[in-house]
Amino acid sequence: MGIEPRAGILDIRPYKPGAAEAPGIADPVKLSSNENALGCSPKAAAAFEASAKRLHLYPDGGATKLREAIAREEGLEAENIVCGCGSDELLQLLGRAYLDPGDKVVQSQYGFLVYRLVAMQSGAELVSAPERNYTTDVDALIEAAGDDAKIVFLANPNNPTGTYISDAEVRRLRDALPSSTLLVVDAAYAEFVRNADYSAGLELARERDDVVVTRTFSKIHGLAGARLGWAYGNKSIIDVLHRVRGPFNVNLPAIEAGTAAIADRDFMKRSADHNEEWVAWLRQQIGGLGLEVTPSVCNFVLIHFPETPGRTARDADAFLTSKGLIIRPVEPYGLPNALRATVGKAAENRRLVDGLAEFMGG
């Protein structure tokens, strides 16, 4: 007889990361995890390497230098920032700190899978609000939240759909929720979005004490392997997160790499420029093959496949994998007829389109 974990833990379906290998293919193209097509800032890589001489030392538990660099670049107050081992950790910490068993957690229909994990780990009840056109529907979220949601998780823009809602819509959502509901705005892809009506929500988080914004170094900064994220919010929330985080939750090389990365605005701009060009190209090319592509402001596209035998998302995934093209099934999100493909380097994007063209033509 084993030792029983807390109620509900064994119901959790462990998070399955994007595949990294295609059987029998030596040099597969990995477009399954929304990693940065350009790699990372050379300055960040150099800072990471230089930190090797100090690996015997504990890092600064408060990641002060990194928080100050973020504050400087983003025009924020360092004391209102907490850093984490990826923004995933910060989402987990929010659950640990604020959720009791039975609490209600609300997300949008195709919301990022980590919200489900966070809710289940705390024994909270997850309610999903229907979307329209693969886009968050604020009215549906408000209705689902009612007057007793503890946390509303909003990925803006969202993964795996790639869509976003405007700052005005986020504010309308916040205004409609009771002040006892914490609104978590997960803006992992914020730096890619150039639409004038978009905001990552930092201003809103500054104005209110019931909003927290999470950000990541995994996407625009290309530091997914370093595991680094940050949250910004009112001091009362940030103080709570500091209490529940591990004493040294952000490692020393990550602090060094992140501090260099956030200051490298040139690398960030190049990443966003590359993305703007290629996300539009992918949508146009893949759309030209007769496949529906959801308009995306992120570094990936959601591609919809027909249910015709031989032409399904599952068939496409198997075919592409056999060609060494690894993209992401999104069945766990309730999207069995779609696949998500990350924007890659120019040649990788061309290979993907060629592969899809062969699949559709074959």
Q: Binding residue for ligand PLP (CB under 6 A) from 32, 36, 87, 271?
A: 87
Bond from prior residue into 101 cis (ω within 30 degrees of 0)? no
Contact pattern for ligand PLP over residues 154 through 183, marking x by CB under 6 A: -x---x------------------------
The reply to whether 299 sits near ligand PLP by the rule CB under 6 A is no
The reply to whether 86 sits near ligand PLP by the rule CB under 6 A is yes
Q: How many angstroms separate the first and last alpha carbons of the chain?
A: 53
The reply to whether 188 sits near ligand PLP by the rule CB under 6 A is yes
Q: Binding residue for ligand PLP (CB under 6 A) from 45, 224, 244, 289?
A: 224
CB of 115 to ligand PLP, least distance (A): 9
Q: Which residue is nearest to ligand PLP (CB)?
A: 86
Contact pattern for ligand PLP over residues 41 through 80, marking x by CB under 6 A: ----------------------------------------
The reply to whether 128 sits near ligand PLP by the rule CB under 6 A is no
Q: Which one of 83-91, 174-182, 271-279, 339-347 is the stretch in contact with ligand PLP (CB under 6 A)?
A: 83-91
**What's the CA gap between 149 and 178, in Å, rounded?**
9
The reply to whether 198 sits near ligand PLP by the rule CB under 6 A is no
The reply to whether 317 sits near ligand PLP by the rule CB under 6 A is no
Cβ–Cβ under 8 Å, residues 337 and 16: no
Q: Within 13 A of 28's CA, how many CA atoms are on the CB side?
A: 18
CB neighbours of residue 10 within 10 Å: 8
Task: Describe the crossing of helices 86-98 and 235-244 by its angle, rounded to 10 degrees.
Answer: 100
Q: Binding residue for ligand PLP (CB under 6 A) from 186, 210, 264, 317?
A: 186
Closest Cα partner for 233 from 258, 259, 207? 207
Cβ–Cβ under 8 Å, residues 126 and 105: yes
How large is the greatest C-alpha to C-alpha distance in the chain, in angstroms? 58
CB of 15 to ligand PLP, least distance (A): 10
The reply to whether 275 sits near ligand PLP by the rule CB under 6 A is no
CB of 232 to ligand PLP, least distance (A): 14
CB neighbours of residue 298 within 10 Å: 27
| Long-range own/partner contacts, residues 115-120 (CB < 8 A, 24 or more apart) | 115/91, 115/153, 115/155, 117/12, 117/15, 117/92, 118/91, 118/92, 118/94, 118/153, 119/95, 120/8, 120/9, 120/11, 120/12
CB of 228 to ligand PLP, least distance (A): 7
The reply to whether 34 sits near ligand PLP by the rule CB under 6 A is yes
The three-class DSSP label of residue 350 is helix
The reply to whether 342 sits near ligand PLP by the rule CB under 6 A is no
Q: Do the bridges between strand 300-304 and strand 182-186 make them parallel or antiparallel, or are there none, so unpaired?
A: unpaired
The reply to whether 341 sits near ligand PLP by the rule CB under 6 A is no
Cβ–Cβ under 8 Å, residues 114 and 15: yes
The reply to whether 107 sits near ligand PLP by the rule CB under 6 A is no
Cβ–Cβ under 8 Å, residues 27 and 324: yes
| Closer to ligand PLP by Cβ: residue 17 or 309 | 17
CB of 279 to ligand PLP, least distance (A): 15
Q: Which one of 134-142, 214-222, 267-275, 306-314 is the stretch in contact with ligand PLP (CB under 6 A)?
A: 214-222
Q: Which residue ranges make up the site for ligand PLP (CB under 6 A)?
A: 34, 86-88, 112, 155, 159, 186, 188, 216, 218-219, 224, 229
